[in-house]
Chains A and B, each alone.
Chain A
Amino acid sequence: MASLRALTAVFLGAFGAATVATGYTTYTATSGAIVRLVDERVEAVSRVLLSEARPGDAATILQGIDAFARRRDSGDIGFELRDARGRRLGGNVIVGRALPIGTFDLREGDGIAGLTAGRALVRDAGGGLRLVTIAETEPIDGLDAARLRIYLIGFGAMVLIVMVGTGAFGLLVRRRIAEVRATAEAIIDGDMARRVPVDPRGGVFAAQAVAFNRMLDRIAALLESVRNVSSDIAHDLRTPLARLHARLTRLAGQASSAEIADELDEALAQCDELMAMFAAILRIAEVEGERRRAAFAAVDLSAIVTEVAEAMVPIATEGDRRLIVEGGGEVPLRGDGQLLSQAAFNLVENALNHTPPGTTVWIGAARAGTRAILSVRDDGPGIAPADRAAALRRFGRLDASRHQPGHGLGLPLIDAVARLHRGTLTLADGAPGLIATLDLPAS
């Protein structure tokens, strides 16, 4: 079935149709039964009346009618006797027209005084005489309204109970599904600690929630061990690197010639680069570990932007590029000031490192509704749309930048910082140049 709603609609439709069919069948069956009972009585009464007279003996039949009419239980039965030419000979009712032999429905239009609904039986009484026996069904017809009411109340209550039940059931299912969906979305947003609430009274939904939560525990454990592997490797490699660095530093201090000193400086710079790469791996692991979220505090994105710009202006100036701060005014949000500084720093660093001299770089913080936006744009060559995804990948360096310093972990780190703050990092065409935007929830 396509959906829960369609399934419910089909179920309610089928239930309604079955209810209506049952009601209709019961109604017609009881109506038929009443008509049959009246017909049987009319038949019996007229048979008895005729059996007391010889065929064709109109006078005896009329006496029988009189005698019958005087009886206390005969008020609902009427008779009329007509001769072969259709003339009325007598009886206690007047039927407006001559009827052929047979059984008929009577309505108000038949002009019988005091009768609105009834049955008539016309019998041959011998010698061309016709005896019309009629009985009212009116008092019984009055029951129809009551019967209808009973049907409506009875079946209506059933329909109502089923609809309310179906609605409540649907609501329950929908709420459980909403809980699972909310959890899944929180996980996607990076809140790996989120779990589906489990109903303590048990049941299938509780069992499903427990299974779902166990799956999440397993995923979290796997993620944690993957994270630990990368940070353990990075950490263990730092010790020998630190020793190498110390030795190179000592050698550089004792270099016997300027050439050797330069070579050692180059080696030290490469060593620093490696240390920076491991620091970035460890930093990403720290950010993805989410412990820093506990230390979130009120920060002003504008102040962070201004500080980062101040720190980077000397670098920009030395590299013959311009760094301009845009906007102003407080942009408050809850976050980690250090990480946001580092993210802003890396964005400006990227813009300065991957553009030619003469480029202008703008950095700004702004509030847009409920969002705090940090953007860094430049009027440099930009990144082709096809390459932007690669730029966000870990160690994903673009061919054009391979000869430049850097380790390809800058953007993934910014991306991790954005996710920690439940925000996003996007790279877009600045026409010209590139716009990198950190879109974060404002406070």
Chain B
Amino acid sequence: MDLLLVEDDADYADTLRSELTALDHRVVVAPTGPAALVEVERDRFDAVILDRMLPHLDGASVVRRLRDNGHRLPVLMLSALGQSDQKIDGLESGADDYVVKPTPAAELDARIKALVRARAWTDDGAETLRAGDITISPGQFRAWRDGRPLDLAKLEFKLLTELARHAGSFLTRAMLLERVWGYDFEPATNIVDAQVRMLRRKLTADGADDPIVTKRGIGYMLRG
């Protein structure tokens, strides 16, 4: 993917660029907000990774300018500190996601892919989701595999829905904690793994193959 990285810390920008390049992205670095606004006009990007703390023009203002200029491309905001008020502020300015530095490149990669994919579909919250032979009706709170109804607990249903929404992309533990559990903290106990194990058991109860792919150190993906 073509990414614009807006980061004033040259060392951190270098590291992140090489790591993201290793993950098959093309990365352009802009050291300031105004430079970023120029780059966006000159080139086409799939997403922007934007540091919140920039000299002169801060990240939130950059997002506002981008939106004012009619750019709808996904913006992932990076922040040095995970204070909740800053996070709310960042999202209110028009950013699509918000993560605390230092974020592993793999986490950024997963989040950007999810954001770009999310742009592809319209979500009215009640439409039926399909991933392989799995069908989910979020409005009815019901799910089927190969036409056979699945008996899922509330969290299992939410987890399956979130995975199905992003079928074909990996979702990290942090992303799932935010979206399924609604937690802004990462518990020491791995509740995501445990919940996935429970869900997997129910999905494969009648000997069907496992539709959930695990990627070590990254997260989970539902096959599309």
| Chain A residue contacts of B189, Cβ below 8 A | 312, 315, 345, 349, 352-353
| Chain B residue contacts of A307, Cβ below 8 A | 181
Are B186 and A279 in contact (CB-based, < 8 A)?
yes
A294 an interface residue at 8 Å Cβ cutoff? Answer: yes
| Chain A residue contacts of B19, Cβ below 8 A | 246
A2 an interface residue at 8 Å Cβ cutoff? Answer: no
A252 with B198, Cβ < 8 A, contacts A295-B85, A349-B188, A410-B188 known: no
A253 with B216, Cβ < 8 A, contacts A282-B82, A291-B83, A315-B191 known: yes
Are A338 and B85 in contact (CB-based, < 8 A)?
no
State which residues 304-346 of A face B: CB under 8 Å. 307, 310-312, 314-315, 318, 338, 341-342, 345-346
Are B155 and A311 in contact (CB-based, < 8 A)?
yes
A248 an interface residue at 8 Å Cβ cutoff? Answer: yes
Question: Nearest A residue to B194 by beta-carbon distance?
Answer: A314
A283 vs B187: C-alpha distance when bound (angstroms): 12
A388 an interface residue at 8 Å Cβ cutoff? Answer: no
A292 vs B82: C-alpha distance when bound (angstroms): 12
> Which of B81, B187, B217 makes the CB contact (< 8 A) with A235?
B81
| Chain B residue contacts of A407, Cβ below 8 A | 188
Which segment of B67-75, B103-111, B119-127 sits at the interface?
B103-111
Residues 20-34 of chain A: 1 if any B CB is under 8 Å from the residue's CB, otherwise 0? 000000000000000
Are B188 and A238 in contact (CB-based, < 8 A)?
no
Are B188 and A286 in contact (CB-based, < 8 A)?
no
> Which of A250, A312, A406 makes the CB contact (< 8 A) with B188?
A406
A353 vs B189: C-alpha distance when bound (angstroms): 9
A245 an interface residue at 8 Å Cβ cutoff? Answer: yes
> Which of B84, B101, B198, B217 makes the CB contact (< 8 A) with A338?
B84
Residues 162-198 of chain B: 1 if any A CB is under 8 Å from the residue's CB, otherwise 0? 0000000000000000000101111111010011011
Question: Nearest B residue to A236 by beta-carbon distance?
Answer: B102
Are A248 and B84 in contact (CB-based, < 8 A)?
no
B54 an interface residue at 8 Å Cβ cutoff? Answer: no
A68 vs B86: C-alpha distance when bound (angstroms): 114
A349 vs B189: C-alpha distance when bound (angstroms): 7
A245 with B217, Cβ < 8 A, contacts A239-B101, A239-B102, A291-B85 known: yes
| Chain B residue contacts of A286, Cβ below 8 A | 81-84
Are B82 and A338 in contact (CB-based, < 8 A)?
no
A243 an interface residue at 8 Å Cβ cutoff? Answer: yes
Are A246 and B188 in contact (CB-based, < 8 A)?
no
**A51 CB, min distance to chain B CBs, angstroms:** 113
A318 with B194, Cβ < 8 A, contacts A294-B85, A342-B185, A349-B188 known: yes
User: Which of A242, A294, A410 has the most chain B CB atoms closer than 10 A to its own CB?
Assistant: A242
| Chain B residue contacts of A346, Cβ below 8 A | 187
**A264 CB, min distance to chain B CBs, angstroms:** 8
Are A310 and B101 in contact (CB-based, < 8 A)?
no
Are B83 and A276 in contact (CB-based, < 8 A)?
no
6 tightest A-B contacts by CB?
A249-B217, A242-B102, A314-B194, A239-B102, A246-B104, A342-B185
Q: Given A345-B183, A353-B189, 18 more contacts at CB 8 Å? A: A238-B101, A238-B102, A239-B12, A242-B104, A252-B216, A282-B81, A282-B82, A286-B83, A291-B85, A310-B155, A314-B194, A314-B195, A338-B184, A341-B183, A342-B183, A342-B187, A352-B189, A407-B188
Residues on A facing B (Cβ under 8 Å) = 235, 238-239, 241-243, 245-246, 248-250, 252-253, 265, 268, 273, 276, 279, 282-283, 286, 291-292, 294-295, 307, 310-312, 314-315, 318, 338, 341-342, 345-346, 349, 352-353, 405-407, 410
Complex A-B: 7 CB contacts under 8 Å: A243-B15, A245-B217, A249-B104, A249-B218, A276-B186, A295-B88, A310-B154
